[in-house]
């Protein structure tokens, strides 16, 4: 029995391997596209001793967030659509309520915390969710 040369086997095996990797990558992207997350950038110039985020009936807290750094929070697919709440342990305390997020649907909300206590919010939707469901009506 004669074996095929290595270069003929690679012509078949390499494309099959690349196709399998592409399928896995697309499946992972589609699965992750339904997860909503909030990203907070500390642009205040100071370390934040306490930061509390709330959205969709969920809440989390972060301590000692250094200046010019960020945190990411993935929401659990529980609860209903809501505004985002931000509370800072600062003097004076900062409380902000705004934006719009759903616990699933691929929302990515970017919040920037500025030195004057202002919070800037930007909303994006996952590419896969936009392609399948269309762009939602989000008013910022």
* pLDDT tens per residue, range 24-53: 988 887 777 788 999 999 999 989 989 999
Confirm if 133 and 102 have CB atoms less than 8 A apart: no
Number of Cβ within 10 Å of residue 55's Cβ equals 25
This prediction's pTM: 0.74
Which DSSP string do the residues of 28-45 spell out, in sequence order? HHHHHTTB-EEEEEE-SS
Average pLDDT, the chain: 85
Residues contacting 47, CB < 8 A, separation 6+: 64, 65, 66, 67
């Amino acid at each position: 029995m004669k074996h095929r040369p290595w270069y003929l086997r690679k012509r078949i095996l390499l494309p099959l391997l690349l196709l399998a990797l592409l399928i896995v990558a697309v499946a992972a992207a589609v699965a992750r596209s339904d997860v909503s997350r909030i990203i907070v950038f500390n642009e205040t110039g100071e370390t934040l001793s306490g930061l509390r985020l709330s959205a969709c009936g969920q809440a989390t807290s972060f301590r000692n967030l250094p200046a010019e750094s960020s945190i990411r929070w993935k929401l659990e697919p529980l609860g209903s659509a809501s505004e985002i709440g931000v509370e800072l342990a600062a003097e004076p305390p900062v409380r902000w309520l705004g934006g719009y997020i759903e616990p699933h649907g691929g929302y990515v909300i970017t919040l920037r915390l500025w030195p004057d206590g202002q919070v800037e919010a930007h909303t994006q939707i996952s590419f896969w969710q936009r392609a399948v469901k269309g762009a939602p009506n989000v008013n910022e």
